[in-house]
Structure formats: C-alpha cells, structure tokens
Amino acid sequence: MEAALVTVSTGVIKPLLSKLFKLLGEEHAKLKGVHRDAKFIGDEMHSMQAALETLADEEQLDPEMRIWRDAVRELSYDMEDCVDDFVARVDHDHDGRTAFKKFVDKLKKPKYQHRTANEIKKLKTRATEASERHKRYNIVRPTSDISTCAIDPRLPALYVDADDLIGIDGPKDDIIDWFQWEATSTQLQVLSIVGSGGLGKTTLANQVYHAIRGQFSCAAFVSVSRKPNMRKILRDIAKGVGATDNTQDDDVQQLIDKLRRHLKDERYFIVIDDVWSAEQWKTISLALLNNNCGSRIITTTRNNEVASCCSSRVGRVYEMEPLSFGDSKSLFLRRAFGPEDSGHSHLEEVSNEILRKCSGIPLAIITVSSLLADQHGEDEWKRVLAAIGSALAKDPGADKMTKILSLSYFDLPHHLRTCLLYLSMFPEDSTIHKQHLIHMWIAEGFIREEQGRSRHAVGESYFNELINRCLIQPVDAEFDQVESCRVHDIILDFITCKAAEENFVTSFNDVEHGDNSHRRVRRIFVGNSNNEKVTIAASRIFSHVRSLIVCVQYPQVSLLAFPPALRVLDLGKCWWLEAHHIASIEKLFLLKYLCLANVTLLPRKIGELQYLETLDITKTRILELPSAVTCLQRLTSLYIHFRTSFVDGMIGKMQSLEELMMFGVHSYEQGKSLQELSQLTKLWRLEVLLGCELWGGTGQIEDIHNNIGTLLSSCNLRHLHIRKCSCSDPLAVKTYFPLSLESWCLATPCSLREFYITYCYIDKVPNWMRLLRNLRELELYVVTVRPEDVAILGSVPTLLFLTLKTFNGTDGRILLHGFSSLKYLCLELLYCGTSLEFEAGSMPRLEHLKLEFRVHRMYCLNGSSNFGIQHLSALRKVEVCICCNFGNSENPLAGVEFCFGKYIGSLIETVIMTLPNCSSLLSEYGNVSYANVDCEHYTTIVGTDYEKEDEVGQDAGAHHWHVGGNHPRMSFGYTQNVISQYSSTPEGVFFRWMTLMETHLLPRPVIHKRRRRTALEKSTLRTSIHVVARNSGRPDSTIRSCARVLLRQMGIFQEDEEAAISEEDLDRYWREFDHPLAEPQMAALAALSSWSLP
C-alpha cells in the first residue's frame, strides 16, 4: 500500500517520496549514480511540497507562480513514472519465469538500469532548474485572505427587487407558515436552508427576513465567509440587534458574553448566511442563547452535515429545490428578452435545451440568459448551448457564477478537490456507480488507509462528503447508502474547466482532437456523440496517460497503442469492443483497474497484469474465466457477468479477493463451487445470483443455499446478497421451493453488516439471526410472517434498516415490538392482507416507514386500520401504497373497495397528523394519492391499473384518472362543469359518488413544497351532487345516514366553515333530488355501511 496521496495540488510528490525512500533502501539503489541523483531529487521535491500546498489555496496565481507550480507537478509525475516503470519491469521479469527466461532477463537488466539512470539524470536537471527558479523569483508569497475580498459574490442576492424574483413565493410561504405553526413554542427554533451554490438560499433567506423581521424585537442578517473573521461576525450580529456599545476592541469571548446579556430578554430573529463548517456554527451559537422568548434563527449552508448540526437543538432542515421548468423558463425569457417577450418562437427548442442543462438553478439561468441577452440568432444560441462550460469559464458576464462555485471548490480539503475533479472523466448526465468510482480513486492513488480503516471505507467517506457538500447528486439511494451519483451540468462544466486548467483531465468531446499543447496529458476522457474519428496515438503527449475512459457507442476510436503508464482503463461502454483491441493489454504493467464490454474472451496473458486490483467484466459475453486470472495476486475486486463460470478449483486460489459480485449459480455443480469461497479469508462482499433453472422443489437449491451458509462461519463477510434471477411470472414464486436457513452455521462473533435475500422466499426467520450483533441492513422475503419471526428480528439490537416482504401475509394478529435501533422499515404485502400493528413503545427511533398492502374488503385488516402508526413518534417520512381490486369486473363491490382504500389512506394520514412536527397535503394523479410529512414526505398511493394522464395544459389541482379493466374512461376535475363518461355499473356509479364527496369535501391542511388548498365553493358541491343524483337517483334516509358517517369520519366537519358544509346543508341537498337508487347500488352502500368504522 502506498503511504501517501496523489492530489491535484501537489501531483504525486507524496507517493513519490515514499517510493524513492523505498527504492534507495533496496537492491535497485546499487545502480551507478542512481542513488545519489534519486536522493537529490527526493530532497528537492520534499522542499517544494510545502510551497505547492500553499499555492493550492490561492484562487488567483501570478503567471510565474503558475508556471513554476505546473513544472514541479509535471516533474513529480515523470519521476514517479520512471520509478514505477523500472520497478514494475524488474518485478515482472521475476514472476513465474523458466530458467531460460531468467537467463534472458539477466541480459536485459543492464538495459533497464542504463535507461533508468539516464532518465533520472534528466529529471535531476529539471529539479535543479525548478529549485533555482523558486529561489531566484521568490515564487511563493503571502496573499490576501479570501475574507478580505473587496466584493462578496453573494452580495447582489441581498438587494434583488422582490418583483424580479420568480419561484420564490412558494418556498418563502412554506418557511413563514412553519414559523407561524411553531409560534406557540417559546423555545429557540432554528431552520437551516441547505442546497448547492447558486440555488437561491441567500435570496430566500433574505425574503423571509424582510417579511417577518417586524414580528421580533430585534433582528440581524449576517453573512459568513469561507475563512471567517469571527470577531467581525459577532460584531455584525451585535450591530444588527442593537448591542454595539464598546464592542470594537472586544475579543470573541467578550463579544459572546455581551450578546448573551443583551439577548437575554429579547425575542430576536437572526439570519446567518452561508455557514461553512460545524465549528463556525458552534462558535456563533454560543452567543445565541435559548431565552424561551420565541426567538428564531435561519441559517443557510451548502453542507448537509452543517445543516443538521445547526438545527440539532430544536428545528428543521429545509432542502432547497431547483426551480420548476415553468418558473425556469419565465426567468430565462425575462432575462434574455425583457418583460415583454414576443416573436422568438424559433428559439423555443434550443432554449428548452439550455434550461435542461441549467436544471433549475437560478444563478445558472441568469448567467446564461445574460450571455444571450443581445443575441437573437438561433446559431448563436446553439453555440452557447454547446459551450456553456467554456462560457462560464471565460465570459466576463459569467464571472459571478464561477466565483460562487469557486467558493465551494476551494472550501474542500485537497484530497476532496482531487476526487471531485476526477468526476470530469465521466460524460454529461451519466450515472456514476459509487463502487466503481471508489476503485478508480484507489487505482489512481487518491485514497490511502487511515486510522485503521480500509481504503474502500475511506473512499466511501469521501463520496459521502461530496454528497453532503451538495457537489454531487445522489442516485439510487437505499437506506442510508447512496449507490450512484450524478454531477449537475453546471458543476460538471466548472470542474471540467478547472481540471483542464490544472492539466488534470483532458476531455475529447465532440471536437477535432489534435492536442496543440506541449504538456503531457495525464488523464483522458473520450466521449463523442457525433461519431467523429478519435485517434489516441502513442505520442510523447499521450505516453504518460494514467486514466483512460472511453464512452463511445460506435467503433470510432482508434487505440493505436495503450499508454504504458495506464493505471485505469475503462472501456465498459464500448459495445463495439473486440478481442483484438485488447490483445496486447499485458504490456500495461501498472494497470490497476480494468473494465471491459462485449468481448467473449479475456486476453491469454491477462495474468501478467501483476498490479491489477479491480476487474469488471459484467458487460462482456465471457462464459468462462481463464485460469490465468488466478495469477493476478493483487486482484481484490472481481465483477463478473452472472453467466460467467469458473474452472474447478480456480476460486480457492484467488487469495487476495475481497469482493465478488454477480457470482451466478445455474446448476448443482456450480453450486458446489461455492464451497471454495470459504478459503478466501479476505472476502467481505459477496453477491450470489441463483438461476431460475434451480427452482423445482428438488432440494438441490437448499444444498446450494447451505453452501452459502457455511461462508458465514469461514469468511469475514460483511455484505451478503442472495437473489434469484428474475423470471417472467412474478406470481410463479408460489411454486418455488421455500428455503430454510435453520441449518446455516454462524461464526461467533459474526461480522455480517448487510444481508439481503431478494426474490427468494424463506419459510421462516431462523433463530440464529438473534446472534447477528453487527447487522445493520436486512431484506427478507418470508412466505408467512409469524409472531416468532417478528420477535427474532426485533431482538437484533443493531438493526437499522429492515425490508420485510411476504406472500401469504401474517399468521394471525401480530404486534410489532422491540426494534430499539430501527430507522427504516418497509413492509410489503402485495399479494395478501395484513394484521400487523405497531405496539406502544416499539421502534422508538423509526424515521421512515413504507407500507404496501391490499385492501381485500377490509376483512383482511384484522388489526387497526391505521396499524398503530400513532405510536411511532419519531417518524419523519411515511409512504403507504394501498392496492385495490377496482379493475375486477366480476366483483360487484370493486369500486367500493377502491373507495375504502382511499378512506383507509385518509385515516392513516389523520393519524400521522397527530405526530410531532407532522403536517400533510394530498395531491392525486391517476388512482394515486401523494402527501408529504414533516418537510420530507408522506405518500399515500391508492392504486389499480392506470395510466398517468399528461398534465401539460391541465389546471393546477385538477384530478384525472384513466381507469383500466372493463370500465370506460372517467375524468374529474375542480371545475363547475363536471364531465362524466362512465358506464352504469354499480361500482362505477358508487365510485363517482364517493370520489366527488372526497375530492370536493375532504379538507387538506397545507405543508412545505406543495401548492395551497383551494377553498371549496358550495356552488361547486351543489353542481357535483346534481350530476351524481341525475345518474344515480335520490338517496333515502339510510343513504344520507351512511354518507354522514363517512363524511364525519373523513373529517368533513372538523375544518373551517369556508371549506366545509354543514349537516343542515347536506340534508337539504339530499332532499332536492327525487330519483330512487337501483337495487345493486343500494346493496353496495349497505355493504359499506356494515363495515366496522372506527
């Protein structure tokens, strides 16, 4: 393992020094002159390292500083290449050679020695020149701190006219509503607004500040710089709240004391804008005491962890969202053409593409639209679209955008800047898999072990930190893990320009690729969508490339020769790749990461890649791994296609293997090879795919499963995923042989942390799961959930995330208890009913609940219809999916079932409203209802087969359904004229009646991020009832009574008068119509009234 890091600021100086020290202590150092010259270079590089680290934090460098910095970095790269090439060739010549080859190698060795000695002499000369230039010109000089910058790039946000703002009213009202909701609380409340740079956090905070500052006795708005002067910040707060007497000469502690005394009896409101670290907030918060006067604080930050720290006492985190497409377009057109836009329809398509790239970031929209303000030609707009990145880097009008992003970039520690810039190696809009990215970082030397943590664990912390700082966007988030990420287009443009400026990454993308620079290219990304020919030749410029990623869909890349210094080679998206393209790959002695696609065979000499650590062939058509793979003694991570097999006895020889992903088992013989995995003592991550061919009730599958179970006692597995390959019929699972895990052997203590069994049903939860004292994440498919199963799972003290799916539902009524640490629970009962209920005191830390179940005419719900959710006081996010049987034309009460599903959803929502800090709003699309909870969201989905109707052009708040099955299309909306097209079936009539009652009468409170409720007009209700009565007849007293019960249970008579209807009015409306109901409709309503309503 290398003892130091590669960074964009210092190049490879740190690992180079480590390698030189090692080289000088080994036999290689006996080369004539090499020892002395290498030591000289090492000493010089060590003295230059500190200077490079100082320059790395300077945003603006003088030309001579930049030239010297680049020269030293390039020298470090060339020196490391020289050392690595020599050591790799010598080590390569000593591996597995015959006697004759060893004799030939001895003849070759003087050639290597002589060439290395000459290279080191040249490098010594370059090091001497750099050292003399440094002394001659006094290159590194102290510069001003960023906090003394004459103009803060965030300053204009404080002086924007409110009339010029678009899309700000909703977020502003959400925050104000929350403050008013909490108005009765006298505790100090802190709301932290978090989001990436340019999203409008400062503008939003400023609008809220000016809207409500008059409600407080004193107020202040203070901005924090990346390197803050804490005395100045505290003095600014003191000035804002009127505590300015004799503070000019006070130190930090004196200022804190004076502020605390002044604010002791004040109801204050303070905004702290752009907090960069938790340490900054902890110091500032010392002055902002909780005086129980109802004071309020708003902070803004770009870091999720800082936001959580700021609001940790009593408060909430408000995540900024990008502008909607409509608001984005309004802002863009206003800035580009002025308030009266007309006559620019020819720019519609290209403007939409520009807005897509801006992705709703206000500052990006303003910046780009300013560039186009005087340009009305389509060609000019297309040119700007194609070069938005370079426009942001070079155009004076875009300087503000660049400065805002630079603040985030320069706030990163050096190692995170390096990892961030490496993301410019990936194409726009691509999804970047976390595990693969970490392996690339490791191969490049960006990551090292630290404080007892493996390189992989350190890499995950780097990845998470970039997400927390809002520099990359999480994708495929599951539990508390993010599996993939994307880079926002604007940030990608910024880091691409920065990487090119630092000669860190060179991108060949949709342009002619002749490099006119004399600098050697270190990393190359090739991705041309125009199918142009790209040639990467073995020239001096390309000969020192370390990473090569090719993302070209067609065979338009000519790889004349792979650069010998390659550490990372990713051809995973080259579907045109053939065996002859990689025939000489064994010459890449330094290669550590290799990803391939399409090929059917690996090169015969693949085993000569002695430094290879990661091999990814998941996208290939390789059916069998060659035995030469066992020669890869440093191979730690192997990703294979699930159809790829191993030669007998091969797996046990791969002793360095730590990760084995998509290991497919399609026969009993292949299943026996699982026993060899027990020999891999370093294996910690394993994914096994069981082929459908194995499932037939024979018991062989259980033997294979037991082979997997033995690994828990012999390996150091921390992540185990067993899943069945998908079959065409998901319901066919009932015919599969249920698995038993009781016979599995368990090591004590067991290191298993993540355990998933997906699409493979087990008969019961085994008793040994109680012993999994390190288990954090668990996913199980159980045939029938028993009380004993719940008791076992609830006793695992470390379990944080649980997904439990069942086919037959529950065995009687089950009270969920225990689960002392659980934070996430998913219960899926899509093929059955459920009688689960949360017991009082259970799951005290549960924050996210997901329920999926079928209504089945209520009798499947043997327990409480709200599942006892009221006992889960820590909930922050709830998702409920209620599946109904509306599409079944043979069921006369199918429509009733659908309506009752919606009714249960409303009951659950009502219960959730009683939980601390919870509120909700219901919106409907198709047969689906969505609602949000506690600034996160609560989702109720009541669904059947449906299509989501295109919402473009529809009124906000309109409800539209396309109902499947035998029922014609029905469409409803918030309009005076209710359009109806439906059959006269009983369920259709009743569905319409119930829908109108709920749609128009059920009041919904308002919460964050959603539109406000439109008050119901009684005329709308009267029109709706008239249409229903005309088609279904007059309800008699029984029906009126039933309706009144339903409406009362739905909360109709519990809201404000404007949105509700009195019982007297309801009786009067029923009496207006004089048509009897048909017998089937009466039966449907009678069945509904017979249900036991809470």
**Residue pLDDT, tens place only, 261-313:** 999 889 999 999 989 888 999 999 999 988 888 899 999 998 888 998 888 77
Of residues 93 and 417, more confidently modeled: 417
Between the alpha carbon of residue 456 and those of residues 5, 27, 337, 639, the distances in Å are 14, 32, 51, 16
Residue with tokens 């390189």: 455
DSSP 406: H
Nearest CA to 773 out of 802, 747, 791 is that of 747
- The structural domains of the chain, with segments of one domain joined by +, span 13-143, 161-319, 324-340+355-374+384-411, 413-449+461-497, 505-511+520-641, 658-760, 924-1090
How far apart, in whole angstroms, are the C-alpha atoms of residue 160 and residue 455?
Answer: 47
pLDDT at 409 over 70: yes
Q: How many CB atoms lie within 10 A of CB 727?
A: 14
Per-residue confidence band for 673, with pLDDT thresholds at 50, 70 and 90? confident
Quick one: average pLDDT of 720-744? 66
Summarize pLDDT for 80-103 with one digit per residue, the tens: 888 887 777 766 655 555 444 444
Summarize pLDDT for 311-333 with one digit per residue, the tens: 877 788 888 888 888 888 888 88
Asked if residue 734 lies in contact with residue 712, where contact means CB atoms within 8 angstroms, the answer is no
Quick one: average pLDDT of 641-661? 90
Question: pTM here?
Answer: 0.75
- Helices marked H in 273-425: 278-285, 304-310, 325-337, 348-358, 362-371, 378-386, 388-394, 399-411, 414-422
Asked if residue 468 lies in contact with residue 487, where contact means CB atoms within 8 angstroms, the answer is no
Q: What is the pLDDT of residue 720?
A: 92
Q: Which residues contact 62 (CB under 8 A, 6 or more apart)?
A: none
How far apart, in whole angstroms, are the C-alpha atoms of residue 233 and residue 230?
Answer: 5
Q: Which residues contact 918 (CB under 8 A, 6 or more apart)?
A: 875, 912, 933, 934, 938
DSSP 587: G
How far apart, in whole angstroms, are the C-alpha atoms of residue 547 and residue 499?
Answer: 14
pLDDT at 1081 over 80: no
Per-residue confidence band for 896, with pLDDT thresholds at 50, 70 and 90? low
Q: What is the pLDDT of residue 756?
A: 93
3-state DSSP call for residue 770? helix
1.20.1740, 3.40.91, 1.10.150, 1.10.10: CATH of 413-449+461-497: 1.10.10
Q: What is the pLDDT of residue 656?
A: 93
Q: Which residues contact 215 (CB under 8 A, 6 or more apart)?
A: 269
Summarize pLDDT for 783-834 with one digit per residue, the tens: 888 889 999 999 999 999 999 988 776 666 778 888 999 999 998 876 655 5
Quick one: average pLDDT of 656-671? 86
Summarize pLDDT for 185-240 with one digit per residue, the tens: 788 889 999 988 888 888 899 999 988 998 999 999 998 887 788 888 998 899 88
How far apart, in whole angstroms, are the C-alpha atoms of residue 446 and residue 434?
Answer: 15
161-319: CATH superfamily: P-loop containing nucleotide triphosphate hydrolases (3.40.50.300)
Of residues 974 and 280, more confidently modeled: 280
Element (H, E) at 467: helix 455-468
How far apart, in whole angstroms, are the C-alpha atoms of residue 78 and residue 125?
Answer: 13
Summarize pLDDT for 116-157 with one digit per residue, the tens: 777 778 878 888 888 888 777 666 655 544 444 445 555 555
Quick one: average pLDDT of 26-39? 64
pLDDT at 634 over 70: yes
Angle among Cα 216, 936, 843 to the nearest 5 degrees reads: 110
Task: Please give the class, per CATH, of domain 505-511+520-641.
Answer: alpha beta
Nearest CA to 689 out of 752, 760, 750, 632 is that of 760
- Of the listed ranges 17-21, 262-266, 506-510, 513-517, the one predicted with least confidence: 513-517
**What mean pLDDT, rounded, does the chain reach?**
72
In the chain, pLDDT over 70 holds for what percent of residues? 64
Per-residue confidence band for 564, with pLDDT thresholds at 50, 70 and 90? confident
Residue 458 phi/psi, 5-degree rounding, is -65, -40
For residue 184 the two structure tokens come to 């009765």
pLDDT at 614 over 90: yes
Of residues 1057 and 315, more confidently modeled: 315
Residue with tokens 């006067």: 293
Q: What is the pLDDT of residue 677?
A: 87
| Range of 357-371, 410-424, 1030-1044 with top mean pLDDT | 410-424
Q: Which residues contact 724 (CB under 8 A, 6 or more apart)?
A: 689, 690, 692, 695, 758, 759, 760
